Structure 1
Amino acid sequence: MARPRKPLLSRDRIVEAASALVDTEGLDAVSTRRLAAELGVSGPSLYNHFRNKDEILDAVADAVSVQVDLSMFDESDPRDWREALHDWALSYRAALAAHPHIVPVLARGPGRRPAGLRVADAVFGAMVGAGWPPAQATRIGALMRYFITGSALGSFAGGFVDDESAYDPADYPHLGQAHLLAERRREVDEGAFEVGLRALLDGLERQYEEYGAADGGAAPSSPSGV
Structure 2
Amino acid sequence: MARPRKPLLSRDRIVETASALVDAEGLAALSTRRLAAQLGVSGPSLYNHFRTKDEILDAVADAVSAKVDLSMFDEDDGRDWRTALQAWAASYRAALADHPNIVPVLAQGPGRRPAGLRVADAVFGAMVRAGWPPAQATYIGALMRYFVTGSALGSFARGFVDDETAYDPADYPHLGQAHLLAEHRQKVDEGAFDTGLRALLDGLSLQYAAGVRGAWAKQETTSGA
Instruction: Report the TM-score, using the length of structure 1 for normalisation.
Output: 0.93
For 1:157, the equivalent position in structure 2 comes to 157
For 1:51, the equivalent position in structure 2 comes to 51
Displacement, 1:2? Answer: 4.6
For 1:16, the equivalent position in structure 2 comes to 16
Mark the runs of 5 or more structure 2 residues left unpaired by the alignment: none
For 2:116, the equivalent position in structure 1 comes to 116
For 1:76, the equivalent position in structure 2 comes to 76
How do 1:68-217 residues align onto structure 2 when only pairs under 5 Å count? 68-214=68-214
Letter in structure 2 aligned against 1:106: L
Aligned-partner Cα distance in 1 for 2:177–2:220: 50
Instruction: Report the TM-score, using the length of structure 2 for normalisation.
Output: 0.94
Task: Count residues with an aligned counterpart.
Answer: 221
Displacement, 1:8? Answer: 2.5
Q: SS state of the match for residue 167, structure 1? A: coil
Q: Deviations over 1:49-91 (max 9, x none)?
A: 1010000000000000011000000011121000001000000
Aligned-partner Cα distance in 1 for 2:136–2:203: 13
Displacement, 1:5? Answer: 8.2
Aligned-partner Cα distance in 2 for 1:5–1:124: 45
Aligned-partner Cα distance in 1 for 2:215–2:179: 52
Greater mean deviation of Cα atoms: 6-15 or 180-189 = 6-15
Displacement, 1:7? Answer: 4.8
Identity level (%): 82
Aligned-partner Cα distance in 2 for 1:221–1:98: 43
Aligned-partner Cα distance in 2 for 1:19–1:186: 23
Aligned-partner Cα distance in 2 for 1:180–1:86: 29
Aligned-partner Cα distance in 1 for 2:6–2:172: 59
Q: Deviations over 1:88-137 (max 9, x none)?
A: 00000000000000000000000000000000000000000000000100
Aligned-partner Cα distance in 2 for 1:100–1:188: 17
Aligned-partner Cα distance in 2 for 1:205–1:15: 40
Higher relative contact order (CA 8 A, sep 6+): 1
| Contact 1:131 1:221 (C-alpha < 8 Å) held by counterparts | no
Q: Deviations over 1:140-174 (max 9, x none)?
A: 00000000001111100010011000011111110
Letter in structure 2 aligned against 1:96: L
For 2:25, the equivalent position in structure 1 comes to 25
Q: SS state of the match for residue 200, structure 2? A: helix
Q: Deviations over 1:179-207 (max 9, x none)?
A: 10000000000000000000000000000
Q: SS state of the match for residue 75, structure 2? A: coil
Aligned-partner Cα distance in 2 for 1:27–1:5: 33
Q: Runs of 4+ in structure 1 displaced over 6 angstroms?
A: none
